[in-house]
Amino acid sequence: MVTNGPERKIVGIGELLWDLLPGGARLGGTVTNFAVFCARLANQVVLASSVGDDEYGRTARGILSQPNLDLQQLQFDEAHPTGTVEVTLTADGVPTYIIHRGVAWDFIQPTAGLLAVAQSVDAVCYGTLAQRHEVSRSTIRSFVEATAPSCVRVCDINIRMPDCTAEVLRWSMAHATVLKVSDEELPLVSSLLGEQVSTHWVFENFPNCALVATTLGAHGSLLTTREGEFRHPGFPIKLVDTVGSGDAFTAGLTHAYLRGASLPEMAEIGNLCGSYVAGQAGATPPLSAELIERIRRLVHES
């Protein structure tokens, strides 16, 4: 772990689920993967989600009991099962999903304890998928809106149709400081919003947004601010699967953003994290000492 940098408090709020992969079940969910990766980079992380009172839920809690990851806001739901997703991989390792509905993370409750956390966080990560049900949608919005003006609000759009609407997408984008989107999602974003969406359009329509991070698959990423942009070509790897690679990118990007990194440094760290996960099985593999040391040097932590 990175151990000598200033601590940052980060919240991931949204889906916790099990990816039912061809090789077996693996714990996942965009914000869960994000939270685990941020914690392994030695940020102080709170995971706000919900699991069922079942074997998947109990196993998830056991796996997530690790340094720097606070599970006090991980709720137990006796009425709904832990989320599961059937994942099929193409020959190129690209996943497709069947996301089961009516599960615990659809019903995250706006408890007083959860909303109190919002006042003291440096960053919060949320997406569109966990807003598909009105209960979690209301909780996520209440939490995000309760954060301080200085809080970095990271929106990973992560569209999973039919579980995203134009209204959810607009709200999510309007409240984001950092917006992460894949190049494959951009046409769908444009279609949902009825606009030709570009970074210029985002900055023009959403004044809170300071950075748009566009992932380009094997071709790296493009980071754009109101002042300029930086394109990173990515890193060559032997692809295993892409499950969780985008979440790792977002975690690395957020880690760097909170430490005042430059666009090239943020892009380097985000792509390092994303390519690292794509080169291994599962969404949250243990981090190598080499990866941690490279990130530590890039953000100038001693």
For residue 302, pLDDT over 60 is answered with no
Instruction: Report the distance separating Cα 211 and Cα 228, nearest Å.
Output: 10
Q: Measured over all CA atoms, what is the biggest interatomic distance in the chain, rounded to whole angstroms?
A: 49
pLDDT tens digits for 123-174?
Answer: 999 999 999 999 999 999 999 999 999 999 999 999 999 999 999 999 999 9
Any domain includes 1: no
The predicted pLDDT at position 135 comes to 98
* DSSP assignments along 45-62, one per residue: EEEEEEEESSHHHHHHHH
Any domain includes 3: no
Instruction: Report the distance separating Cα 254 and Cα 266, nearest Å.
Output: 8
Any domain includes 179: yes
The number of distinct structural domains making up the chain is 1
Mean pLDDT of 33-54: 96
Mean pLDDT of 252-278: 95
For residue 251, pLDDT over 90 is answered with yes
Instruction: Report the distance separating Cα 71 and Cα 62, nearest Å.
Output: 10
The predicted pLDDT at position 47 comes to 98
Any domain includes 172: yes
**Mean pLDDT score of the chain:** 92
- Domain assignment of residue 153, given as a range: 9-298
CATH number, domain with residue 93: 3.40.1190.20
The answer to whether 229 touches 212, Cβ cutoff 8 Å, is: no
- pLDDT confidence bin for 281, thresholds 50/70/90: confident
The predicted pLDDT at position 3 comes to 36
Any domain includes 42: yes
Any domain includes 2: no
Q: Give the CA-trace dihedral at 97, 182, 125, 101, to 10 degrees.
A: -20
Any domain includes 230: yes
Mean pLDDT of 57-64: 96
Any domain includes 109: yes
For residue 240, pLDDT over 80 is answered with no
